[in-house]
Structure 1
Amino acid sequence: MSRTMEWAARPEHLGGIPRKLVIAMVGTFAKTVSSFLNTTSVHNADTLLRLVRSRPRRVPLITISNHMSTLDDPAMWGFKGFPIFDTKLARWVLAAEDICFRNALYSYIFRVGKCIPITRGGGIYQEHMNEALERLNDGEWLHTFPEGKVNQEEAPIRRLKWGTASLIARARITPIVLPIIHHGFHEVMPEKYMFGRRPPLPLWNKKIDIIIGDPIELDLPAMRQKAISQSRSESFPIVGWPSTCDGLDEAAQRCFYATISEQIHAAMERLRCFGKSLLKS
């Protein structure tokens, strides 16, 4: 399968002018939603700003968050002080192909805006996941929603898909993994507002809270060895995943990605609980 409009995602496409225009329009929209129409408070913003602006050279960054609305990205980056108009610092983000890439115009705009199409249910080795891995290997910032779909319930973090874990495991340089929990976007863009549909425009006078955690410490070598040992005593349905460059077969990969996902899930759930206590205080 050829990559959807990959040429439009390249920074040199038409001298970078389309990207600058799209990032400017998207940034203006995000600032309007988060900083003018609604009230947004951010906890620990300095950690995110530092990692976006000045992390070690070539070290990739993965931010992960819950997914409360179709506006989460880009609106969550519209808070005051965030460099949302900088095309070089802007995140790459995994975006649902069936929503963001429905036709040629949408595909072009989202591609220029540094979005990578993901087919839900397409597996962790689909072509565009390899593209996301390439961006990480370039030392870029990638944002993912590992729950895999919008969840507007006031409930614990759902079981995470393994795609994000596989990217962390396969990247040449282990990414910095930063959890983010937000609350309020489900009121700005409720899934069932008018006749069971989303409103045509974002709602206003809502309170948005963004809680940024600290980087998650992942001991990948130890987790890899544990996965190899564990895989020898468990059976999995085999679908034909390729072996990794360090020799992990499919069974070991499944154990490895599950272990990484569980640790990320635990960190996100702790941050969610911390956020709840923060909002009550």
Structure 2
Amino acid sequence: MTRTMEWAARASHMRGIPRKMVIMAVGAFAKAVANLLNTTTVHNADTLINLVRSRPLGVPLITVSNHMSTLDDPVMWGFKGFPIFYSNLARWALAAEDICFKNSLLSYFFRIGKCIPITRGGGIYQEHMNEALERLGDGEWLHTFPEGKVSQEDAPIRRLKWGIASLIVRSPVTPIVLPIVHHGFEEVMPENFWFGRRPPFPLCKKSINIVIGEPMEFNLPKMTQMAISMSRNLHNPTRGWPILLPSGLDEAAQRCLYTSISEQIQTSMESLRSSRKKLSEAKSLNSGQVEE
């Protein structure tokens, strides 16, 4: 497997002009959907904005969120005050190869839009994950949907895929991890709108709610030692994973470490989901009291 149109993803491609044009056009679309067509409420927005604009030099940022529609990214970045028009600040995103890279035109568009193709079912050590690690090594911002697929049910956060945990462990610089939970995109772009299909355009007059958590920091040396200890008595079937150097983690220890990291992120996201529901209920209650 080769990296799909890697040349188009480079900042130097045509002096960065195509990337700037796409980022600005998509940013305008996101702003319109989030603020003109619909109403978007964001809690703790300053935390995200500050990390995007002024985190420590060379330190990468990974944002993780639930996935409720095909519009989550980029519209979730269209809220008021977010610097969505700056290509140098824009996120990199992991995007499904079978959806976003089906032909040359789509591949070029998503590549200059800072998307990295991921083969679903290709495993956490597929070639394109190395490209994501390179971007993290550059101190970039990477957004992921660790549940792995769209779910429009307002249900507990599902078990996370191990890909995000492997990126955290293997990143040249340990990234800042920021959990985000949102609701409302399932109404803006419902999966089963008309005969089991999505609407041709985003729906309007809906409420989008985004709750941004606090940065998560992982003590990887300590967690690695715990994973090694826990894995000594495990005898799971192997998949031929490489031994991670310099930590020397074998496959069993990697499984333990990835599970531990994923569970911490999942717990944080579920806490945000509960907070969002409480905020929504309080808002509804206050609205009812005002009407009375």
Residue in structure 1 matched with residue 262 of structure 2 by the alignment: 261
Residue in structure 1 matched with residue 169 of structure 2 by the alignment: 169
Residue in structure 2 matched with residue 250 of structure 1 by the alignment: 251
Whole-angstrom distance in 2 between the partners of 1:172 and 1:3: 20
The offset of 1:251, in angstroms, is 1.1
2:230 is the alignment partner of 1:230: yes
2:201 is the alignment partner of 1:205: no
The offset of 1:217, in angstroms, is 3.1
Residue in structure 1 matched with residue 287 of structure 2 by the alignment: none
Residue in structure 1 matched with residue 29 of structure 2 by the alignment: 29
Matching residue's letter, 2:146? P
Whole-angstrom distance in 1 between the partners of 2:24 and 2:46: 23
What TM-score do you get using the length of structure 1 for normalisation? 0.99
Residue in structure 1 matched with residue 288 of structure 2 by the alignment: none
SS at match of 2:52: helix
Whole-angstrom distance in 2 between the partners of 1:200 and 1:42: 26
Residue in structure 1 matched with residue 286 of structure 2 by the alignment: none
Whole-angstrom distance in 2 between the partners of 1:76 and 1:90: 13
Q: Which ranges in structure 1 are unaligned for 5 or more consecutive residues?
A: none
Whole-angstrom distance in 2 between the partners of 1:158 and 1:218: 21
Q: Residues 227-263 of structure 1: CA distance to partner in whole angstroms, max 9, x if unpaired?
A: 1011111122111111112211111111111110011
SS at match of 1:229: helix
Matching residue's letter, 1:96? A
2:271 is the alignment partner of 1:270: yes
The count of corresponding residues between Structure 1 and Structure 2 is 281
Residue in structure 2 matched with residue 279 of structure 1 by the alignment: 280
- Between structure 1 and structure 2, the one with the greater Rg is 2
Residue in structure 1 matched with residue 64 of structure 2 by the alignment: 64
Matching residue's letter, 1:22? V
Q: Which ranges in structure 2 are unaligned for 5 or more consecutive residues?
A: 283-292
Whole-angstrom distance in 1 between the partners of 2:51 and 2:218: 17
Matching residue's letter, 1:117? P
Describe how 1:185-200 pairs up with structure 2 within 5 A: 185-200=185-200
Matching residue's letter, 1:141? W
The offset of 1:173, in angstroms, is 1.2
Q: Residues 130-152 of structure 1: CA distance to partner in whole angstroms, max 9, x if unpaired?
A: 10011001100000000000010
Whole-angstrom distance in 2 between the partners of 1:185 and 1:67: 9
Matching residue's letter, 2:173? I
SS at match of 1:227: helix
Identity %: 72
Whole-angstrom distance in 2 between the partners of 1:42 and 1:178: 15
**Runs of 4+ with >3 A deviation:** none
Matching residue's letter, 2:44? N
Cα RMSD after superposing both structures: 0.7
Q: Residues 195-248 of structure 1: CA distance to partner in whole angstroms, max 9, x if unpaired?
A: 001001000000000100001232222211111011111122111111112211
What TM-score do you get using the length of structure 2 for normalisation? 0.95
SS at match of 1:147: coil
SS at match of 2:210: strand
